[in-house]
Structure formats: structure tokens, C-alpha cells
């Protein structure tokens, strides 16, 4: 039996409400609210009573200064470039662990024992294939369909094959959580590979139960009817690392979307399908695709990147893969991936001109006041596409790989909401800027 869920009580235990308070002076009144302090010393003013007390709300478009939840899963210190999953530094996990083990850690809160690890791995392996009825669903998509559209649809459709896990009855969904989590982590690869094969007009490749996670994915992607996929130069290892580095990242746009959907009581399948849609955007998970397109365009123009940097500084283009809402220092994942790219390309004996351009852009930006003043550093997407490109994965599939990697984080955040007991449905307020009251005008009197 897998370890029982992480109990909500642990969540509470990790926060201590200090005597600290914050006062808000509005007109001639003073409103005082408690300060919540996290386990890493970050502070928040608890304004949950503000509107009731004062009639005022706070306004923070993009939520750069607003905490939407308490969470015990991941911690980021953007100023120091720190990222920890359940307290473990990403650098240590990247060096010593693997994607499935980190997925277990993120979902269940602790690194698995040998027994838990083999049980979890067995559960993932036995769930790799999908119901043959789902094969027909792929026929409904035009061959030009974006694989992210297919993936979000298929993850929701998957719930139809396991109604007991996707009932929207929270207690029942939680009862089946362990199986649903393993099943989603396993089948997301299969669905992704099938979307690729469909687009390429190739027959689907059945999973092989003797292959480990990333190897099985590459097998389902690339094995052709007449020759098996052979792993050259440790691509499987590089893809596993890519997935590990993407596994969870606090309340980013897609994870917050998963929590928003989960807050309504929606099941895990519907919630992660919504996460895929949010991740697709070019400012978020879609950036890894945009980076390669940017580098290809720079290469096509015969530019070494210098002209592009100037156009970015003039606001005419965006240096994709640079900048981050939270990191105002180097994204630790970018560092790790940057080093891995060198290793993979040299093992493959590939001399990719795009890497030279990327390196030039990085050095130029890191020494240019425009980027330095705005604290714009490479983020996870800047080099990640180079690894996928080396593995022969088409650019259209890059964000799909990001989604496969992020799935454990989405699952853990859904679970945190589902077990927190006191979750309120997410329903932000707004500042209305439309017309004041006016009355209906019959059509003959309009215009």
C-alpha cells in the first residue's frame, strides 16, 4: 500500500501565526490584520477580512504581490535563485534522483523507501497502455492539430474511462487518488507519443514494460515499424533530467489554474487538463518552443544575436527564455540544463549553431544594462529546447514535454487543495470600470 496522503494537519503545522500584525490606514480608520509567516520566513498580510471590515479590496493585477494559498510542496527564493521541492534543493535532486522518484516526493511529501519506490514504479509501468477505444479519439483531430490541444482533450477524456476516479465527489476521488496519480503520470507519456505519431501519420507504438519511464516514452515516440529506437548518448537520461527539473514550481500560471479548477470540487483529470491549457501560452510553457523559433530566425538572418539583443532592448522583440516573475537571479534549472546540453551535444557529436547563438545571447544579455537593471536572466526554457532538439523531438512537442514534467506538481497541488478541508472556491474580486447604470433602449431608438 502506498504511503497515505500527506495530511492537511502537516500543512498547518508548517506555518506559525506570529503575533506580528500589519495596519492599514483607510481614511480615518485603522484596520489591523495578522501577518502569516512561512517556514522560510516569508511574510503575508492576512487580508481575508479587509472587505468585510472596510469595504475595500486589494488590487494586484497578475498577482505578483498576492499569495493565493499556503503550500508545502515547493519553495523558490527568486532573489537567491533557490528552488527546493519538499525542502530538497533542485541541484541535489538533479544530481542524485530521477523523475519518477521526484514525482513521488512532490506528491507524497517524502522520498520513497525502496519498497514504496518499486510499488510506485510498478503502478506506473502497469498503467502505460491506454484503452483501445481512445485510439479512435485521435482520428477526430486534423493532422495539423497542436499536440497541446490534443493532450488537454485526451487527459479530460481519460477521466471518462475511470469514472470512479473522476466523479467530482471529493471523498470518492480522494479514495482513488493513488491510482489516479500513477495512472496519469504513466499515461500522459502514451497520449503525448500518440499525438506525435498521429501527426506524423505513423502507427501507434505499444509501450514496453521492461523500459523505464523516459525510455518508454522515447520508444513510443520513435520506434518505427522496421527498427527499434536505440538510445544514443544518454538521451534517455537527459530527457529524464528535463522532466525532473520541470516537476513543480510553486504557483506558476498553470499550477494556479489547476488549483483554481480544483477549488470548485472538480476532479483531478479535469484540473490537470486545464493546467495543460494554461501552460500552452507562449509566455509560460510555450516559451521553450518560442526560444528555438527565435534562435532559428536569428540564424536565418545571419545574425550572431547582437542585432536581436538591440531589437529586444528597443521593445521590438522579446528575448524568449529570459526573465521570470519570481527569479531575479539565475533560474537554477537553467544552469543545470545549460550544462547538460553541452554534454548531450558532445556525446552525440552534434555541433548545433543555435547553441552558439544561445551562448552569445546569454553572455550579451548578462552584461547589458537593459537586462541587468531589469534582472532578466535565463529561465528554464532558454536551453531546455536544445536538449529536446538533440533528441529529435519536434518543436511542436516541446511544451508537451514540459506538461509531462509538470504533471506531478499539478497532481500534488490538486491533492493539497482536496485534502486541506477548508478550501474556499477561488473567486477573485475586480474593480469595475464599465458604464454606470443605464436603461434599455429599443432598437428603433438606437444609433
Return d(Cα 337, Cα 386) in angstroms, integer: 9
H/E run at residue 25: strand 16-26
From 123, 318, 328, 343, residue interacting with ligand SDX (rule: CB under 6 A): 318
Return d(Cα 178, Cα 330) in angstroms, integer: 35
From 379, 384, 399, 419, residue interacting with ligand SDX (rule: CB under 6 A): 379
From 242, 269, 322, 383, residue interacting with ligand SDX (rule: CB under 6 A): 322
Q: Please state the φ and ψ torsions of residue 134, each to the nearest 5 degrees.
A: -75, -20
To the nearest 10 degrees (0 to 180), the angle between helices 353-366 and 306-313 is 50
Nearer to ligand SDX, 74 or 190 (CB): 74
Q: Is 320 in the site for ligand SDX (CB under 6 A)?
A: yes
Which residues, numbered 380-399, are part of the site for ligand SDX (CB under 6 A)?
380-381
Return d(Cα 112, Cα 108) in angstroms, integer: 8
Q: Is 312 in the site for ligand SDX (CB under 6 A)?
A: yes
Nearer to ligand SDX, 122 or 372 (CB): 372
Return d(Cα 285, Cα 290) in angstroms, integer: 10
Read off the C-alpha cell for 30.
485603522
Task: Give me the least distance between CB of 285 and ligand SDX, in Å please.
Answer: 6
Look up 135 and say whether it is catalytic: no
Q: In residues, how long is the chain?
A: 447
Region binding ligand SDX by CB under 6 A among candidate stretches 39-47, 192-200, 230-238, 379-387: 379-387
SS3 26: strand
Return d(Cα 56, Cα 49) in angstroms, integer: 10
Look up 426 and say whether it is catalytic: no
From 181, 287, 341, 411, residue interacting with ligand SDX (rule: CB under 6 A): 287
Which residues, numbered 326-355, are part of the site for ligand SDX (CB under 6 A)?
326
Region binding ligand SDX by CB under 6 A among candidate stretches 89-97, 110-118, 315-323, 355-363: 315-323
- The arrangement of strands across the sheet holding 82-85 comes to 74-77, 82-85, 88-89
Return d(Cα 258, Cα 423) in angstroms, integer: 14
Task: Give me the least distance between CB of 178 and ligand SDX, in Å please.
Answer: 25
Q: Is 20 in the site for ligand SDX (CB under 6 A)?
A: no
Please give the residue ranges that form the binding site for ligand SDX (CB under 6 A): 249, 252, 283-284, 287, 312, 318-326, 374, 376, 379-381
The residues annotated as belonging to the active site are 324, 381
Amino acid at each position: 500500500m502506498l504511503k497515505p496522503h500527506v495530511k492537511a494537519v502537516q500543512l498547518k503545522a508548517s506555518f506559525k501565526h506570529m503575533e506580528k500584525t500589519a495596519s492599514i490606514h483607510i481614511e480615518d480608520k485603522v484596520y489591523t490584520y495578522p501577518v502569516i509567516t512561512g517556514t522560510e520566513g516569508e511574510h503575508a498580510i492576512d487580508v481575508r477580512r479587509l472587505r468585510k471590515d472596510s469595504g475595500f479590496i486589494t488590487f494586484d493585477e497578475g498577482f505578483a504581490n498576492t499569495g493565493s494559498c499556503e503550500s508545502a510542496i515547493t519553495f523558490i527564493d527568486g532573489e537567491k535563485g533557490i528552488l527546493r521541492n519538499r525542502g530538497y534543493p533542485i541541484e541535489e535532486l538533479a544530481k542524485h534522483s530521477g523523475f519518477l522518484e521526484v514525482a513521488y516526493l512532490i506528491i507524497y511529501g517524502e522520498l520513497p523507501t525502496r519498497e514504496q519506490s518499486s510499488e510506485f514504479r510498478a503502478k506506473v509501468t502497469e498503467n502505460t497502455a491506454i484503452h483501445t477505444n481512445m485510439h479512435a479519439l485521435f482520428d477526430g483531430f486534423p493532422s495539423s492539430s497542436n499536440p497541446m490541444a490534443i493532450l488537454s482533450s485526451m487527459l479530460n477524456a481519460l477521466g471518462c474511462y475511470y469514472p470512479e476516479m473522476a466523479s467530482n465527489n471529493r471523498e470518492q476521488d480522494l479514495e482513488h487518488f493513488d491510482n489516479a496519480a500513477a495512472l496519469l503520470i504513466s499515461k500522459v507519456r502514451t497520449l503525448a507519443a500518440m499525438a506525435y505519431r498521429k501527426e506524423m501519420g505513423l502507427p501507434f507504438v505499444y509501450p514496453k514494460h521492461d523500459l523505464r519511464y523516459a525510455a518508454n516514452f522515447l520508444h513510443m515516440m520513435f520506434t518505427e515499424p522496421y527498427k527499434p529506437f536505440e538510445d544514443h548518448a544518454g538521451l534517455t537520461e537527459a530527457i529524464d533530467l528535463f522532466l525532473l527539473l520541470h516537476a513543480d514550481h510553486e504557483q506558476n500560471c498553470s499550477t494556479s489554474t489547476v488549483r483554481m479548477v480544483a477549488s470548485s470540487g472538480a476532479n483531478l483529470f479535469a484540473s490537470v487538463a486545464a493546467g495543460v491549457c494554461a501552460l500552452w501560452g507562449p509566455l509560460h510553457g510555450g516559451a521553450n518552443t518560442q526560444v528555438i523559433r527565435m534562435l532559428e530566425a536569428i540564424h536565418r538572418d545571419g545574425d550572431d544575436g547582437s542585432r536581436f539583443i538591440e531589437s529586444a532592448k528597443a521593445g521590438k522583440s522579446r528575448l524568449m527564455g529570459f526573465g521570470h516573475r519570481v527569479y531575479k537571479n539565475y533560474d537554477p534549472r537553467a544552469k543545470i540544463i545549460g550544462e547538460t546540453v553541452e554534454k548531450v551535444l558532445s556525446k552525440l557529436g552534434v555541433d548545433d549553431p543555435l547553441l552558439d547563438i544561445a551562448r552569445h545571447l546569454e553572455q550579451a544579455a548578462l552584461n547589458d544594462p537593459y537586462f541587468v537593471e531589469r534582472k532578466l536572466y535565463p529561465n528554464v526554457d532558454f536551453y531546455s529546447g536544445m536538449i529536446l532538439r538533440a533528441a529529435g523531438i519536434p518543436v511542436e512537442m516541446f511544451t508537451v514535454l514540459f506538461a509531462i514534467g509538470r504533471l506531478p506538481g499539478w497532481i500534488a497541488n490538486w491533492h493539497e487543495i482536496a485534502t486541506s478541508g477548508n478550501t474556499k472556491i477561488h473567486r477573485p474580486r475586480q474593480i469595475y470600470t464599465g458604464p454606470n447604470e443605464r436603461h434599455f433602449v429599443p432598437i428603433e431608438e438606437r444609433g
